[in-house]
Amino acid sequence: MTTIERYAKLRLSPPGLGQILAEAMIEHDGDYIKEVKEEYDRRRMVVYDRLKQIEGVKNYKPGGAFYCFAEFPIQDADDFCKWLLTDFEHKGSTVMLSPGSGFYATKGLGQNQVRIAYVLNTDDLHAAMDCLEIALAKYTNEVEKAAVVA
């Protein structure tokens, strides 16, 4: 086994103790787990519902993760995600997204997709979605049009 393979297994596999604890938690699905599931469902629905309201965005309702993928009406999600962090601000904040292309093995897939983790509380998620909606409108109206002219 190469060093890279070992690193990948170490990075992508939960440690043995973590697996034992996870199994115990599944078997003892008490109030805590129920509350966590309900909270993440609320967060999931905030992001899902808000994305459905943004013109040109295509998304799906995630089934079990704490993130979702969305297709945006843009050419390059890598550029958009970078622009959000370097050149955009709304009320002193911005949004950090993951470009979708990094999650595909096939070159070219995910070019206009992003991954959004819903790890914030619902109030902060609403604020983030407000910010994202404004950013997406500004980016598609100004940045992408300027790139076409150049």
Could you read off the pLDDT of 3-17 as tens digits, one per residue? 656 555 555 566 777
Chain-centroid distance of CA 122 in Å reads 15
pLDDT for the residue numbered 19: 77
d(CA 31, CA 13): 27
Residue 62 clears pLDDT 70, i.e. is over it: yes
As a whole number, mean pLDDT of residues 39-52 equals: 96
Could you read off the pLDDT of 84-136 as tens digits, one per residue? 999 999 999 999 999 999 999 999 899 999 999 999 999 999 999 999 999 99
Per-domain residue ranges of the chain: 33-149
pLDDT for the residue numbered 128: 97
The domain made up of 33-149 has a fold known as Aspartate Aminotransferase, domain 1 (3.90.1150)
Nearest Cα to Cα of residue 79 among 3, 16, 140 = 140
pLDDT for the residue numbered 60: 93
Could you read off the pLDDT of 65-80 as tens digits, one per residue? 899 999 999 999 999 9
CA distances from 93 to 88, 90, 132 (A): 8, 5, 10
Rounded (5°) CA angle 132-133-134: 90
pLDDT for the residue numbered 146: 76
pLDDT for the residue numbered 133: 97
pLDDT for the residue numbered 125: 97
pLDDT for the residue numbered 142: 86
